[in-house]
Amino acid sequence: MSGLLSMFSYHFMQRALLVGVLVSLCAALLGVSLVLKRYSMIGDGLSHVGFGALAIASAFHLAPLAVTVPVVVIAAVLLLRLRSDGRVKGDAAIAIISSSALAIGVVVVSVTSGMNTEVSSYLFGSILSLSRGDTALSVVLSLAVLALFLLLYPRLFAVTFDETFARATGTRADLYNTLLAVLTAVTVVLGMRMMGALLISSLIIFPALSAMKVCRSFRGVVICAAAISVVCFLFGMTASYVFETPSGASVVVADLIAFGFCSLCAKRN
């Protein structure tokens, strides 16, 4: 027990837990809308773009978050545009953008610093990556994401459930879709460095899917997804500390177990 408590005595651990809980909350809330709107893969695509931007930022010794957040936000808006005007099919657009960004990132890293542990920490996450400044920015941004989601909840529900009806009643559905994509972009970037570019999308998708197995109302799904997400994050981090496993992967495994559990519950009912 004292071993477990010692986990909280490290500053980097405190920072990681604080940011992690907030990002898990954001990811779960946004995830419900994204999964229901069939936008799940956007999170995955954006994380790859984030990797590319992060690689370039570190190659040129720029502040990582300050470069990555705007780049990924622009990519998110672009992805949504490509989807809606139908020139490139949505899934193909995501595949093109994400693999290109990943490739550019790898090329930049190999030319400048060479493939090293830094690359691995981008891809699979590192708990040590959060500086004091990053933490402050992450807390502010994730609180902003949470606040916007909660304030616009009735509108986001309407746009998620039935975009055509929402448009017909004078709601600017495009604005809310863009907002959803931008908030997702911010969440992906914040969570990416801890969870890893390859694993962050599961933080968005898993809690929503698990909650949808056991809850039947939108509000229920949102609350349940948020709870599952935070609990799985804390479990995953604890397991990672105790068993010395990579943090991002441990959180995803915790989410996978929760999903399995929820599926079983759904089957029994």
Partner 1 sequence: MAILKCENASFSYDGVTVLEGVDFSLGAGDYLCIVGENGSGKSTLIRGLLSLKAPSSGKIELGDGLKKSEIGYLPQQTSIQRDFPASVWEVVLSGCLNSLGARLAYSAEDKRRAAANLERMGIEELKDKSYQELSGGQQQRVLLARALCATKKLLLLDEPVTGLDPVAAGEMYNLIKLINLCDDISVIMVTHDIHEAVRYATHILHLGHRQLFFGTAAEYKKSALARRFLGGSGI
Residues making contact with partner 1 (CB under 8 A): 36-38, 151-155, 157-158, 161-162, 164-171, 212, 215-221
CA distance 84 to 79: 9
Least spacing, CB of residue 149 vs partner 1, in Å = 12
Residue pair 171/156 in contact (Cβ under 8 Å)? The answer is no
Least spacing, CB of residue 269 vs partner 1, in Å = 12
Nearer to partner 1, 88 or 106 (CB): 88
Nearer to partner 1, 133 or 220 (CB): 220
Nearer to partner 1, 121 or 177 (CB): 177
Nearer to partner 1, 29 or 212 (CB): 212
Least spacing, CB of residue 219 vs partner 1, in Å = 7
Nearer to partner 1, 131 or 171 (CB): 171
Nearer to partner 1, 114 or 170 (CB): 170
Least spacing, CB of residue 46 vs partner 1, in Å = 21
Least spacing, CB of residue 14 vs partner 1, in Å = 33
Least spacing, CB of residue 220 vs partner 1, in Å = 7
